[in-house]
Amino acid sequence: MDNDKIDRIINKHRGKAGSLVQVLMEIQEENHWLPREVLEKVGEKLDVPLSRVLRIATMYKTFSLTPKGRHEIHICTGSACHVRGARRVLETVQDLTGIKPGETDSDSRFSLETVNCQGCCALGPVVAIDGKTHGRISPDEIADALKKYD
């Protein structure tokens, strides 16, 4: 991520109380992760101690301190999805992408995560790709869905 974008995001929120989370969210959206040097810069520019920036960045699951892919895949493995075949869908995604939950592929195309519930149990198994929900998805259908993402 270039420094000009980081500076624009920080300057847009500078002087606003409680802006730290919003700044981190916008940088995460642009960059897909929060490198330490970016966290240090945010702390300096917003006059927030690095310890506080790190506490916020590690407290919320939405933030990542490791590189993420351009497309994030979240597979529900909760009870309702599990009994409807989530394990087979997960195995198919792992085979197609070459990654396991918590990993990012080598060309930073995909990151894979499992979640306990996505709040739409009646649609299980459920997969969300970049926030778009794919319900009642089969292993064959997930292969087609993944092809749509560069």
Cα separation of the two ends of the chain: 20
Where do the H-state alpha helices sit in the chain?
3-13, 20-31, 36-46, 50-59, 79-83, 86-97, 139-147
Average pLDDT over residues 6-18: 88
Q: What is the DSSP string of 5-17?
A: HHHHHHHHHTT-T
- Domain residue spans of the chain: 3-59, 71-147
pLDDT exceeds 80 at position 10: yes
Q: Distance between CA atoms of 40 and 110, rounded to whole angstroms?
A: 27
Name the CA dihedral angle for 102, 105, 110, 115, rounded to a multiple of 10 degrees. -10
**pLDDT band, residue 3 (cuts 50/70/90):** confident
Contact criterion met (CB below 8 Å) for 129 and 72: yes
- Taking only the tens place, the pLDDT of each residue in 68-113 is 999 999 999 999 999 999 999 999 999 999 999 999 999 999 999 9
CATH number given to 71-147: 3.40.30.10
What pTM was computed for the model? 0.79
**SS3 state of residue 116:** coil
Segment 34-59 shows an average pLDDT of: 95
55 CA to centre of own chain: 18
Q: Average pLDDT, whole number, for the chain?
A: 94
Question: Is the pLDDT at 62 greater than 90, yes or no?
Answer: no
Closest CA to 46 of 79, 81, 11, 22: 11
Name the β-bridge partners of 133.
Answer: 128
Q: Is the pLDDT of residue 150 over 80?
A: no
With contact defined as beta carbons under 8 Å apart, do 27 and 42 qualify? yes
* pLDDT (0 to 100) of residue 59: 93
Structure token digits, residue 102: 């918590």
